[in-house]
Structures are given as structure tokens and as C-alpha cells.
Amino acid sequence: MHNFIFENGTRLIFGAGCLKEYLASFLERYGPNVLLVTDGSGEGARCGAQDEVSRLLRTGGKTAVECRVRPPCPSSKEARQAARLCREHHVDLILGVGGSAVLDCCKAASLASVCRGDLWEDFWASRGVVDLPPLPVGLVSTAVEVGAVNGAAGLIRNGRCVWRDYPPCDPGFALLDPAYTRALSPRELAAQGFSALAGAMELYLDPVEGTNVPRDLLEALLRGMIRDLRTCRRDPRNDEARGDLMWESTLWGSRFFQLGRQCTFPALPAREAALRFAAETGGGYTDVLAVLLLALCRRLAER
């Protein structure tokens, strides 16, 4: 393995009732102005998390301005719009309520709101130097898959999907209550679980020097994801399996699985192509991802 330094700046709290128990205490650490980033599909509203967060914000004396993000992946335009709201309203905290698209937008906006240049051209596409601390980020998850709490965030522009990993953009806290995923339909539950499984599998198949330990850990994670995804498909109301799947789906994109790699977060061609298709057509992300992943596995097996 190659040399590495691992540091996790996020306080992850998992379990029933964690939103009501902990969010108010976290909010006390930040100023009065909050940007609330929500899922454009209405997922947070359906499960009740968005109403609860709004109530706690009011109770804590916070002033919130809201912006919405379309799943499955935010565009650079959406990130810039969120950053503009941060500057106009002198935001002290970016708080996401939703899944992976919400989290990625929060991370990108936290950087875009303070950077002096163009987010995409100077920092996303060309890996420019960051010389200012990004705005603080917090997350309330309402999805089985929230992407990488501690890892790379994705953005789409002109049909191109790019992931960038900048640890200071990680949320200071992340609250994951599996109860909020009960509002997902069986199809949504299966789609989110499969999306996480596909990402973990692409990462596992990436042949990079120094990945023996991460691959061993990913293999164990993949086995658990397959087991729990099958259980959830048979019984979508199985709280234990859904909670396990939520935690596994949260882990796969963590930079913990990048430790010892010779390079940073790798390209995931099947996931990138499916996200690009969804952004251009407005749907079909997991269907396309399933076809592309099967083709990728078949091609690798024939080598």
C-alpha cells in the first residue's frame, strides 16, 4: 500500500429519532442564516423530515432560504445558484435534506460560495488551488443512498460528469434515520440500493496498484449489500435490512476505501454514462446503469 493520512471530520449519527434528538444541538454551533438544500423529487417532504427540519430551524431562531436539486446528480448550474443564495443571504450553514444529489450540491456550493473563480473551470475540471475554507455543511438523510458523506462529490456540465474530493467540504454532521426511508416506494428503494451496489462494484473492479486491503473490505461490503438488497426486494417493510442497506450504501463511496491507492477517486464509466443519460433525458438512470454494469462485468470476465 502507498502512504496515506486518514482523517474523518464528520460526526455520523445513525438510528431512529436522531434528527429530533441531535439536530437542535448542532444548529447552536452556527450563525442564524441557513441554506436549506432539498430534493426536487419531494422525497424529504413525503417522509416528514423536511417539515421537522423546518420546525427545528424556526425553534432555534434560524432564518432559512431554500433551494431544490434534481436527482440523481446536480448540475454545475444548480451548484452556482445555491452558491449565489449563500452569498446574497450571508449563509452560515448549508443544510441538506435528501440523498446523494442533495449532498453533492451542498459540497459543491460550500466551495463555490467562497471561491474567487469559476467553480467548474477553476476547481472542478482543472483541480485548481483552494485558498479559502468552504462554508460548513450538514446533512439529514432521507434516502437509502446518500453517496459519499466522506468522499467525492459529483457534478454534471454539458453532458460530462466529474467527481472531485475535497475533505474540507465534508459535512460537519450527518444524521441518518432509516425510518425516513419508509416513504420510498419498493421501486425507489430497490433503485437506490442498486445504484449504491453498482458504484461499489465499479470501484471494486478498478485495477489500481495498492488496493488489496480496500478491495477485501469492499468485497465484504458488497456481500452485505447484495444480501440486504434481496431482503428489501422481498420485504420492503423489513426495517433491519433497510437500515443495514442504508448504512452500507453510505459507506461505499467513503475515502476510507481509497486509502493506499496510487490515485484519487477513480472514474466510474458506467455510473458516469448513466448519470449523463438521466440528466439529458430526465429519467432511466438505474435502468441504464444495470445494462452498462452488466456489459462492463461481461467485458472484464472475457479478458
**Same domain for 292 and 169:** no
pLDDT of residue 271: 80
- Answer yes or no: is 5 within a domain: no
Residue-wise pLDDT for 22-81, tens only, equals 999 999 999 999 999 998 777 667 889 999 999 999 999 999 999 999 888 899 999 999
| 109: CATH | 3.40.50.1970
pLDDT band at 265 (very low <50, low <70, confident <90, very high): low
Contact 41, 71 (CB under 8 A): yes
Of 125, 149, 180, the residue that ends a domain is 180
- Check residue 296 and give its pLDDT: 80
Q: What is the mean pLDDT of residues 116-132?
A: 76
Q: What pLDDT was estimated at residue 257?
A: 81
**What is the C-alpha to C-alpha distance for residues 96 and 174, in angstroms, rounded to an integer?**
9
Confidence of residue 11 (pLDDT cuts 50, 70, 90): very high
C-alpha cell at 123: 476547481
Q: Is residue 72 domain-shared with residue 40, that is, in the same domain?
A: yes
Please count the CA atoms within 13 angstroms of the CA of 178 that sit on its side-chain side: 19
The range of the structural domain enclosing residue 112 comes to 11-180
Compute the distance between CA of residue 281 and CA of residue 102 in angstroms, rounded to an integer.
Answer: 20
Residue 212, C-alpha cell as written in the block: 488489496
Q: Are residues 164 and 206 in the same domain?
A: no
* Residue 273 shares a structural domain with residue 170: no
The pLDDT-based confidence of 266 (bands split at 50, 70, 90) is low
Q: What is the CATH number of the domain that holds 284?
A: 1.20.1090.10
Least confident of 35-49, 106-120, 180-194, 235-249: 35-49
The answer to which of 12-26, 136-150, 179-193, 285-299 has the lowest mean pLDDT is 285-299
How far is 230 from 233, CA to CA, in rounded Å? 5
Predicted pLDDT of residue 283: 66
Question: Band of the pLDDT at 272, cuts 50, 70, 90?
Answer: confident
Q: Please, which contacts does 262-266 make with residues 24 or more away whose CB atoms are closer than 8 Å?
A: 262/2, 262/208, 262/209, 262/210, 263/208, 264/152, 264/165, 265/151, 265/152, 265/163, 265/164, 265/165, 266/203, 266/206, 266/208
Q: Which of 21-35, 142-156, 232-246, 280-294 has the lowest mean pLDDT?
A: 280-294
Q: Residue 133, Cβ neighbours under 10 Å: how many?
A: 11
Task: Give counts: helices (H), strands (E), the chain.
Answer: 10, 8
The mean of the pLDDT values for the chain is 87
Whether 274 is in a domain gets the answer yes
SS3 track for 72-117? CCCEHHHHHHHHHHHHHCCCCEEEEEECHHHHHHHHHHHHHCCCCC
pLDDT at 117 over 90: no
**Mean pLDDT of the 191-196 span:** 90
Q: Over 80: is that where the pLDDT of 219 sits?
A: yes
d(CA 140, CA 138): 7
> Could you say which of 155, 180, 205 is where a domain stops?
180
* pLDDT value, residue 17: 95
Whether the full predicted model's pTM is greater than 0.95, yes or no, is no
Residue with more model confidence, 259 or 73: 73
- 272 located within any domain: yes
Closest CA to 250 of 303, 178, 184, 301: 178
Same domain, 152 and 195: no
Q: Are residues 159 and 215 in the same domain?
A: no
The domain boundary, picked from 148, 163, 180, lies at 180
Number of domain units in the chain? 2
